[in-house]
Amino acid sequence: MADVAQGFDYVVVGGGTAGCALAARLSEDSRRTVCLLEAGGSGRSVFIKVPGAIVMAQRSASLNWRFQSVPQAELNGRRIPVPRGRGLGGSALINGMVYFRGNPRDYDAWAAAGAAGWSYREILPYFRRSEHNENFGSSVYHGRGGPMNVRSVTRPNPLNFSFFDALAGLGYSYRDDLNGADSEGMGLRQLSIRRGTRETTASALLRPALGRPNLVVLTGTQATRIVLEGRRAVAVEARSADGGLLLKAHREIVLTAGAIQSPQLLMLSGIGDGEHLGALGIPVRHDLPGVGRNLHDHLASPVHMRTRDPASYGVSLRAMPRNLWNIAEYLVSRRGPLANNVFESAAFVKSVPGLDKPDVQLVFQPAKRPDPSFPYPLGHGFAISPVGLYPRSRGRVTLAGPDPFAAPLIDPNLLSAPEDLPPLINGIRLARKIFASTAFAKYRAEETSPGSAAQSDAELAAYIRAEAYTVHHPVSTCRMGNDAAAVVDPQLKVVGLDNLRVADASVFPSIIGGNTNAAIVMIAEKACDLILGRPPPAPETFDASDTPKNDTDHPA
Ligand SMILES: Cc1cc2nc3c(=O)[nH]c(=O)nc-3n(C[C@H](O)[C@H](O)[C@H](O)COP(=O)(O)OP(=O)(O)OC[C@H]3O[C@@H](n4cnc5c(N)ncnc54)[C@H](O)[C@@H]3O)c2cc1C
């Protein structure tokens, strides 16, 4: 029986995407005791469950840490929102539920950069292990029978087909499976949704494990420091409403507090850049200058259109009967638009010819921009948000001071690399071509932003600086590698210390060309094997002809 006073074999810090999966997997071995610490609450709320209530979930102060970046010099000095989920489930409590693994070559680049064991062939079995794909499993690329439910968008809004038709007219191909051999082209999203409700590692992996006597989950408990004895991590200091706690770890401590708060906790514990910590009066226990560096994220610059046509999701008199029907349909059968996210399709394109993989994601949204004072779009429209997939800009997370409850300083240093601007400018131009095509003519839409006055590169760059935002995929602040600046090695062990690993978004060697959640579940699956000393699964052999066909209808 696990017990706080006795300590645990493993203490996992942060009950988000990675932490819930890891704690559940580690505790499958009943001989090992596991404690999962989560600063937030249970993560149960109707706003989380209903996929269509996503904006309400994101706006909830109890579910979102609501960090902000420091002023961004290349974005007109703006502070950029950095939402992070809070509660069991972590950022997946408030995320867009998109299940996309990025480009297979991203992982080969990880391995080539020093992350031995993390090539696509080696990590593909871990993606399959966690997945139950309703549409594509079981195949080389997909799993059936895994804990996390994945399904494609059901009954997409007709505007998605205008998006596909326009892209087909421009020479792009439709992909049944954006998570197959190749994602270049367009397709419907795959989503982390089960029977019409949001699926997270908390709902899929942790909750079914909660009855295990060897697993203790402490919510409302924030880790404030990792205790070192010499080079060995031995305990976690934490605080809850009842006071301070010391959680001893007999085997290992694993940080899964995410790309902002894992480096924060390391630095609060005296593990980080000695100069920075010394300046704040924090005793340096282990000088590791890479901690908090390499922060990067995906930047997006949307093209918004407005129309009187009521085909899009939105609140209007003409759409009222349909909206009421959709609410009733969801309440009765968990189907319809409220059982999907709004971002139903996407395209992956090369912003210039000759690249070896797409460098821009066009996120299509059959809805107008939501009003700041109302969670749903008032009126009708649609948008394409070009997202730069491989930013070169690198920033840093640092501490504002030694107070563990103070927000860290988050500086993604967006657009500091000039190469990050052209893919966004080209993406805006491509989005405009799509909206100017005959496929969209019937909607008689007008562009509301950037607006027809912005045409030249300089005008579009000015728009991007004024309006671009990140799509909430911060990574790499405890970068994995085998070089002197790496924070963790390919076994996810903090370099130079014993019994301490990091296993979340912060270990990405570099950002993948897509949404990050699925890759983080994969990291947790592999971390479990690494921690328990289990041999890895055999690397996958595959070729493009193995890409499965969708079971469901799709545009030809
Ligand atoms: C608004 C939004 C939309 C997104 N949309 C998508 C999407 O559609 N698809 C996709 O793939 N990805 C998406 N993402 C990204 C994805 O959700 C995250 O990359 C992923 O959830 C991060 O997982 P993680 O385990 O690294 O950290 P998190 O899931 O953020 O978990 C960290 C956990 O640690 C807890 N914690 C932090 N500090 C402490 C401490 N000191 N003590 C105890 N607990 C602590 C936090 O409360 C949190 O629960 C989105 C993210 C956001 C915010």
DSSP string computed for 93-132: GSS--B-----HHHHHHHHHTT-TT-SHHHHHHHHHHHEE
Neighbours of 362 (CB within 10 A): 24
Q: What is the mean pLDDT of residues 105-120?
A: 97
The beta strand positions in 317-375, using DSSP E, are 345-349, 360-365
Query: Cβ(85) to ligand 1 under 6 A?
Result: yes
10-19 residue pLDDT tens = 999 999 999 9
Domain spans, the chain: 1-65+80-151+197-292+473-556, 154-188+299-388+416-467
Query: Cβ(199) to ligand 1 under 6 A?
Result: no
Cβ burial, residue 450 (10 Å; 0-12/13-18/19+): buried
433-455 residue pLDDT tens = 999 999 999 999 999 999 999 99
pLDDT for residue 540 is more than 90: no
pLDDT for residue 545 is more than 80: no
Annotated active-site residue 473? The verdict is: yes
**Tokens 């994602």, located at residue:** 183
**CB-based contacts of 410, cutoff 8 Å, min separation 6:** 67, 68, 69, 70, 82, 260, 295, 395, 397, 474
Q: Does domain 154-188+299-388+416-467 have CATH number 3.40.50.720?
A: no
Which of 248, 214, 251 is closest to 500 using CA atoms? Answer: 251
Query: Which string of DSSP letters, residue by residue, matches 143-191?
Result: -SSSSEEEEEPSS--THHHHHHHHHHHTTPPB-S-TTSS---EEEEPEE
pLDDT for residue 147 is more than 60: yes
Position in ligand 1 atom list of the atom nearest CA 515: 11
Ligand 1 centre to CA of 176 (Å) is: 28
Upstream peptide bond of 138 is cis (omega within 30 degrees of 0): yes
Counts of helices then strands in the chain (DSSP H, E):
15, 27
**Tokens 């399709």, located at residue:** 345
Which of 219, 256, 173, 267 is closest to 42 using CA atoms? Answer: 219
Q: What is the mean pLDDT of residues 310-327?
A: 94
Q: How confident is the model at residue 552 (pLDDT cuts 50, 70, 90)?
A: very low
Residue bearing the CA closest to ligand 1, atom 24: 258
Q: Phi/psi of residue 464, each to 5°?
A: -60, -45
Task: Note the pLDDT of residue 61.
Answer: 85
Eight-class DSSP state of 538: P
Query: Cβ(268) to ligand 1 under 6 A?
Result: no
How does the average pLDDT of the chain come out, rounded? 94
Position in ligand 1 atom list of the atom nearest CA 99: 11
Query: Cβ(512) to ligand 1 under 6 A?
Result: no
Please tell me the pTM assigned to this model.
0.96
Task: Note the pLDDT of residue 2.
Answer: 72
Fold of 1-65+80-151+197-292+473-556: FAD/NAD(P)-binding domain (3.50.50)
Give how far Cα 315 sits from Cα of 194, 322, 331, Å. 26, 10, 19
Pairing of strands 380-388, 446-449: unpaired
Query: Cβ(148) to ligand 1 under 6 A?
Result: no
Ligand 1 pocket: which of 80, 91, 267, 296 to mutate (most atoms within 8 A of CB): 91
**CB-based contacts of 508, cutoff 8 Å, min separation 6:** 110, 475, 476, 479, 480, 516, 519
**Structure token digits, residue 77:** 């000095």
Query: Cβ(14) to ligand 1 under 6 A?
Result: yes
Position in ligand 1 atom list of the atom nearest CA 87: 49
Query: Cβ(18) to ligand 1 under 6 A?
Result: yes
Looking at the DSSP bridge assignments, the partners of residue 307 are 380
CA terminus-to-terminus distance, the chain? 56
Ligand 1 centre to CA of 410 (Å) is: 15
Q: Which of 142, 286, 296, 473 is catalytic?
A: 473
Looking at the DSSP bridge assignments, the partners of residue 313 are 367
pLDDT for residue 370 is more than 80: no
Pairing of strands 380-388, 299-300: antiparallel
Q: What is the dihedral of CA 10, 13, 15, 21, to 10 degrees?
A: -40
